[in-house]
Amino acid sequence: MTLEKLYAWEKKLHAEVTAEEKLRVSYEKGYSFLKSLDQNGAEPSEIYEAEAEVASFIKVNVSVRAVESVSMRVHKIRDEELSFQVNKVINVFKEMWRFLAKCHHKQFQEITRSKSCVHVVGKGSRKVTMKVEEQIRRFRESLRGYIDAHRGFVRLLNEWLNRNIMEVEDLTMTEAPDIFRVSSEWLREIENVDEVKVLSAVEEMELRFRSLGLKQVEEVKQRLRTERLCKELERKTKEVEEGWGTQAEEVMGPELLSLRESATHETEKHEGVIREINDAVSMSLQECLVHVFEALEEFCFGNFKAYQSIRIGLTETETQS
């Protein structure tokens, strides 16, 4: 509501300034014309007529007072209502970052103490891995977007305030209304918080899952190769058993024995790939989550310290509450 109110009053101020400027231009033209008439010895009637027209622009003074009145109203809303709400928002953000830092600290402790044992091999596991990777990517992009939006809002607030302070260039920052100092400190403090570590930790987790997905593709190929050899071995063994009965083991030729060895080798290889994937994901998942939650805790605590450093003057309303 306060920003909407400021917009409405600034719109009115713009209209008043535009009207005042038009009157001023007309007044200056009329005055110049009157001066030229006087200097060139024009007829008194012409001079009187020009004087009357110039005198009609007395509305310029009224317009100037209207501009000053609206401008004062804008400043009052800015220095009282907006300033109070900015202070309130900063306090809310401070508590939010404190709460988030505590939450991520507990998550960090729990994941550090936990013993991870994850099995990610099976039908549809590749799709699940891709979905997890996609969610991690979206989280990283959302976090990056939030950081940019957060800083962008405070930066825009400062740019708007700086346009206001240009109207009174003789004021120093210490003499300017409190909202100027608070907003300047707000921007400086949050821009000093380093987000590189937390974004890198989330990106590393995303890359680990991408690597896991490639391993799962390898596992699928190995499983299909193993299944093909086992089926072929089963078919040929059945053919020999049907022809030789109980003597099948004795009459197996080198081709069938080689096929059995290949099937056994590929089965062991497939089992090894499965163990490798499960062991890797169990270790890397815990390792990544430890780094992610540690980085999130540091990032949130850094923001909390930043907001804690902003010097906010309590208003009478806040003091009573």
* DSSP for 125-140, written as a single string: HHHHHHHHHHHHHHHH
User: Quick one: 78 exposed, middle or buried, by C-beta within 10 A (0-12, 13-18, 19+)?
Assistant: buried
Could you tell me which residues come within 8 angstroms of residue 2 by beta carbon, excluding any fewer than 6 positions away?
77, 81, 82, 85
For residue 187, tell me if it sits in a domain: no
Q: Do the beta carbons of residue 116 and residue 286 sit within 8 Å?
A: yes
Q: Summarize the confidence of residues 140-145 as an average pLDDT.
A: 95
Cα–Cα distance, 10 to 163 (Å, whole number): 12
Could you tell me which residues come within 8 angstroms of residue 274 by beta carbon, excluding any fewer than 6 positions away?
121, 219
For residue 7, tell me if it sits in a domain: yes
For residue 88, tell me if it sits in a domain: yes
- Could you tell me the residue range of the domain that residue 6 belongs to? 1-103
Cα–Cα distance, 236 to 252 (Å, whole number): 10
Q: Summarize the confidence of residues 180-209 as an average pLDDT.
A: 92
For residue 259, tell me if it sits in a domain: no
pLDDT of res. 155:
95
Q: Is the pLDDT of residue 315 over 50?
A: no
Alpha-carbon 276 to chain mean position:
36
Q: How confident is the model at residue 149 (pLDDT cuts 50, 70, 90)?
A: very high
Q: Do the beta carbons of residue 268 and residue 225 sit within 8 Å?
A: no
Structure tokens at 224: 């299909």
For residue 54, tell me if it sits in a domain: yes
Q: Summarize the confidence of residues 210-231 as an average pLDDT.
A: 77
Domain count along the chain: 1
The better pLDDT of the pair 46, 99 is held by 99
User: Quick one: 102 exposed, middle or buried, by C-beta within 10 A (0-12, 13-18, 19+)?
Assistant: middle
For residue 155, tell me if it sits in a domain: no
pLDDT of res. 273:
72
Q: How confident is the model at residue 50 (pLDDT cuts 50, 70, 90)?
A: low
pLDDT of res. 282:
66
Cα–Cα distance, 194 to 39 (Å, whole number): 70
Q: How confident is the model at residue 321 (pLDDT cuts 50, 70, 90)?
A: very low
Cα–Cα distance, 143 to 153 (Å, whole number): 15
pLDDT of res. 224:
79
Cα–Cα distance, 289 to 297 (Å, whole number): 12
For residue 313, tell me if it sits in a domain: no
Q: How confident is the model at residue 57 (pLDDT cuts 50, 70, 90)?
A: low
Q: Is the pLDDT of residue 126 over 60?
A: yes
pLDDT of res. 226:
79
- Which residue, chain included where needed, has tokens 């009174």? 168
Q: Is the pLDDT of residue 38 over 70?
A: no
pLDDT of res. 233:
72
Q: Summarize the confidence of residues 163-188 as an average pLDDT.
A: 73
pLDDT of res. 152:
95
Give pLDDT tens digits for 195-208.
999 999 999 888 88
Structure tokens at 284: 């890397």
Q: Summarize the confidence of residues 172-187 as an average pLDDT.
A: 81
pTM as predicted? 0.67
The stretches of the chain forming alpha helices (DSSP H) are: 2-39, 44-55, 59-76, 83-113, 125-165, 178-191, 196-244, 248-251, 254-309, 316-320
For residue 108, tell me if it sits in a domain: no
pLDDT of res. 318:
46
Q: Summarize the confidence of residues 62-80 as an average pLDDT.
A: 68
Q: Is the pLDDT of residue 145 over 90?
A: yes
Q: Is the pLDDT of residue 94 over 90?
A: yes
Q: Do the beta carbons of residue 178 and residue 268 sit within 8 Å?
A: no
pLDDT of res. 174:
54
Q: Do the beta carbons of residue 168 and residue 197 sit within 8 Å?
A: no
Distances (CA, A) of 88 to 94, 218, 288, 304: 10, 55, 36, 15
pLDDT of res. 132:
84
The better pLDDT of the pair 283, 155 is held by 155
Cα–Cα distance, 218 to 170 (Å, whole number): 71
